[in-house]
């Protein structure tokens, strides 16, 4: 489940940074939603999803500090998703899509770059 959590960190960051700025509201909504739906990320090694939540939080903060490009974050998500597709259940895919919509809307209305990225995410997850 670690790779799924890593992928979620990438895609959340990609959406949050699509406008070249990651707002605290975006980080908070991601944290709160992942915390609320921790069961999706729970496994035998992390039965309460605590490590997954901490992992995603650290990824977002680290990428923000390093000013990782939104497109590179999306490409990293896409690579993990393609390689580990079997780990992304229907529920996880829907969660990722919902999470991205809420993160994109957290600071203000979605801008064009966020909407374009969201449509790319939706197309990728449809398979």
Q: Are 41 and 1 in contact (CB under 8 A)?
A: yes
For 20, counting Cβ atoms within 10 Å of its Cβ (0-12 exposed, 13-18 middle, 19+ buried), the class is exposed
DSSP-derived secondary structure letter, 46? B
CATH assignment of the domain containing 93: 1.10.3680
* pTM (2 d.p.): 0.87
- Region of 67 please: left (phi>0), alpha (psi -120 to 50) or beta: left
The pLDDT assigned to 55 comes to: 78
pLDDT, tens only, 32-59: 888 888 777 776 666 656 677 787 888 8
Domain interval for residue 53: 2-126
Greatest mean pLDDT among 53-57, 61-65, 99-103: 99-103
Q: Is 19 helix (H, G, I), strand (E, B) or coil?
A: coil
* Overall number of domains in the chain: 1
Residue 56: closest CA among 44, 78, 79, 38: 38
């Amino acid at each position: 489940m670690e790779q799924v959590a890593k992928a979620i960190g990438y895609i959340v960051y990609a959406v949050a940074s699509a406008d070249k700025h990651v707002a605290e509201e975006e980080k908070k909504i991601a944290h709160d939603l992942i915390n609320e739906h921790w069961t999706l990320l729970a496994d035998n090694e992390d039965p309460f999803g605590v490590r997954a939540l901490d992992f995603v939080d650290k990824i977002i903060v680290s990428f923000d500090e390093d000013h990782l490009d939104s497109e590179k974050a999306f490409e990293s998500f896409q690579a993990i998703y393609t390689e580990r597709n079997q780990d992304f259940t229907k529920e996880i895919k829907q969660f990722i899509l919902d999470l991205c919509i809420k993160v994109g809307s957290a600071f203000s209305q979605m801008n064009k770059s966020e909407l374009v990225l969201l449509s790319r995410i939706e197309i990728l997850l449809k398979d």
